[in-house]
Amino acid sequence: MTYLDLTLFPLIGDPEAAPGYVLLDEALERHLVHITEVSAGGRVPELAFENSSDETVLLVDGDELVGAKQNRVVNLSILVAGGNS
């Protein structure tokens, strides 16, 4: 469908199909991931993220990470495969 300079394409998929990942909030609730400071002193723009599960976890740009030495906001979307840091 096109109108002036805008073209839209329908995205059709299986509504019953589960995504191949879990979102950060669910991963935290299920204790699948651990987020810690990179060192005892900490560094503001960096955290250590460990996905100890076998599921892929999606961190979405704008997710808030609460705790550690201070709260932070994810500034890009990241997929972390199971068993990775």
pLDDT of residue 5: 94
CB neighbourhood size of 26 (10 A): 14
Length of the chain: 85
Task: Give the pLDDT score at 36.
Answer: 87
Q: Are 58 and 81 in contact (CB under 8 A)?
A: no
Contact assessment for residue 33 and residue 57, using Cβ atoms and an 8 Å cutoff:
yes
The pLDDT of residue 11: 85
User: One digit per residue, pLDDT tens: the chain, 85 residues?
Assistant: 899 999 999 888 887 888 899 999 999 999 999 998 888 777 777 888 999 999 999 999 999 988 778 888 999 999 999 999 8
Structural domain boundaries of the chain?
A: 19-80
